[in-house]
């Protein structure tokens, strides 16, 4: 299957859902009052999907891999910030577990995509 647009990439689709869920919990929980943490976790989540999109349009496999690596690291940042939100009791363990599971899943997709692209012979 040939991917013609970044919106066809499964990791991007799942990252988009994660962003929506992050924004929702930032509005519905105590995170809504901590502007710094809320802003940081939202921007890190958006960065996951944005770097996939930007990398896809880079017209270079090595550049795309770099952008996917940025995306992967942004997902790690989201996970770290979720620990902060849990530790200061802005979110409960159920919300934490759900978002961690989603983020881990996105990271696995991105990591798999990176491995796939690295294994492809360059033209």
d(CA 101, CA 17): 13
Within 10 angstroms of residue 100's Cβ, the number of other Cβ atoms is: 16
**Per-residue model confidence (pLDDT) at position 120:** 85
Distant-in-sequence, close-in-space partners of 33: CB < 8 Å, separation ≥ 6:
none
DSSP string, 10-30: HHHHHHHHHHHHHHHHHHHSG
If the chain, 123 residues long, is cut into consecutive pieces of 10 residues, what is the mean pLDDT of each piece?
Answer: 90 98 97 97 98 94 96 98 98 98 98 94 65
d(CA 101, CA 83): 13
**Per-residue model confidence (pLDDT) at position 65:** 97
**Per-residue model confidence (pLDDT) at position 93:** 97
DSSP state of 40: H
**Per-residue model confidence (pLDDT) at position 39:** 98
d(CA 60, CA 96): 36
Distant-in-sequence, close-in-space partners of 116: CB < 8 Å, separation ≥ 6:
none
**Per-residue model confidence (pLDDT) at position 1:** 66
pTM flag (> 0.75):
yes
Residue ranges and CATH numbers for the domains of the chain are 10-118 (1.20.1440.60)
Angle, vertex CA 111, rays to CA 107 and CA 115, nearest 5: 170
Look up residue 114 and give its two tokens.
């990176």
Distant-in-sequence, close-in-space partners of 34: CB < 8 Å, separation ≥ 6:
88, 90
């Amino acid at each position: 299957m040939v991917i013609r647009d970044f919106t066809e990439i499964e990791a991007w689709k799942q990252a988009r859902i994660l962003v929506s869920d992050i924004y929702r919990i930032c509005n519905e929980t105590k995170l809504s009052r901590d502007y710094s943490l809320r802003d940081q976790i939202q921007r890190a989540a958006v960065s996951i999907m944005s770097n996939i999109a930007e990398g896809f349009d880079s017209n270079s496999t090595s550049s795309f891999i770099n952008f996917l690596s940025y995306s992967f690291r942004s997902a790690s940042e989201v996970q770290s910030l979720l620990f902060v939100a849990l530790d200061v009791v802005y979110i409960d363990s159920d919300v934490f577990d759900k978002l961690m599971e989603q983020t881990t899943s996105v990271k696995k997709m991105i990591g798999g995509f990176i491995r796939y692209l690295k294994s492809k012979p360059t033209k």
